[in-house]
């Protein structure tokens, strides 16, 4: 548990007494200067190879950039924080910039996300496009109607909503649409294998529980043991899917286990 000690003092006539109270605190996962503490895995490339300098840092932000690409050819990328987490609240800002690189899929236009409860980056196959994980999907508005963000996608996983197992790949949130290139703040509250909440502007826009491996998925199935496949912890990663995107103020608040 990442914590700080806060002094709590009580004053009375002629007497001063202080006690230490152990309180959780937000901790930055990204230092705004370099990619220290993060591990890159791109489809078709070995662990740690940052093909075409896709992931870089500038102006205090972690940037997904495609200016060195002539054509996108399925080089889906993820950048993982170096350690796994279980119970926490994650907060970050993101924004889409510029134009999608040539060759990017239509569905990937102004599309990115943060993966939670992800498999370890070292366990990904060489050609694997997406880690087995729970994705909090980021979508930018296209200026022509509703396009909510903070959605759920489930590569190699399933979840439970309103008591029902959900096996469809993506589920829309109730969020507003965010057009333009402004910064958007999102929070994810994760309680191990229990509840997960997607939060936009302080409002819960999607809630589910029981994140679990999908036994029908050929990449996820080998991770199943004799248990129920519930995911109680995992890595956090950010996506590169062919549209330039930036991330900043990536912070985590670890919570007590339930």
Mean pLDDT computed over 45-54: 98
In CATH, what number does 26-254 get? 2.60.120.560
Q: Label residue 20 by pLDDT band (50, 70, 90).
A: very low
Q: Report whether pLDDT(52) > 70.
A: yes
Q: Which pTM value belongs to this model? A: 0.90
- Boundaries of every domain in the chain: 26-254
- Beta strands 245-254 and 27-28 are antiparallel
Top-confidence residue, 4 or 161: 161
163-199 residue pLDDT tens: 999 999 999 999 999 999 999 999 999 999 999 999 9
| Cβ-contact 150, 173 below 8 angstroms | yes
- Beta strands 61-64 and 55-58 are antiparallel
242 dihedral zone (left: phi>0; alpha: psi -120 to 50; beta): left
- Please report the pLDDT score of residue 257 as a whole number: 85
In three-state secondary structure terms, 241 is: coil
Exposed, middle or buried, 132 (CB in 10 Å: 0-12/13-18/19+)?
Answer: buried
């Amino acid at each position: 548990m990442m914590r700080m000690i806060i002094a709590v003092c009580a004053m009375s006539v002629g007497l001063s007494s202080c006690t230490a109270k152990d309180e959780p605190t937000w901790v930055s996962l990204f230092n705004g200067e370099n990619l220290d503490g993060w591990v890159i895995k791109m489809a078709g490339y070995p662990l740690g190879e940052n093909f075409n300098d896709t992931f870089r840092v500038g102006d205090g932000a972690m940037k997904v950039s495609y200016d060195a690409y002539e054509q996108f050819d399925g080089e889906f990328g993820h950048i993982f924080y170096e350690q796994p987490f279980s119970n926490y609240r994650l907060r970050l800002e993101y924004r889409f910039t510029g134009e999608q690189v040539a060759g990017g899929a239509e569905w990937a236009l102004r599309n990115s996300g943060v993966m939670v409860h992800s498999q370890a980056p070292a366990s990904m196959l060489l050609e694997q496009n997406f880690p087995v994980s729970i994705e909090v999907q980021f979508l930018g508005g296209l200026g022509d109607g509703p396009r909510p963000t903070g959605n759920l996608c489930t590569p190699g996983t399933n979840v439970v909503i309103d008591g029902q197992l959900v096996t469809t790949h993506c589920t829309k949130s109730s969020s507003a649409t965010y057009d333009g290139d402004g910064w958007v703040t999102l929070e994810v509250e994760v309680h191990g294998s229990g509840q997960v909440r997607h939060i936009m502007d302080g409002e819960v826009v999607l809630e589910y529980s029981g994140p679990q491996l999908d036994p029908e998925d050929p990449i996820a199935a080998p991770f199943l043991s004799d248990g129920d496949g519930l995911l109680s912890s995992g890595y956090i990663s950010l996506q590169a899917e062919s549209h330039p995107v930036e991330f900043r103020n990536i912070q985590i608040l670890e919570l007590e286990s339930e």
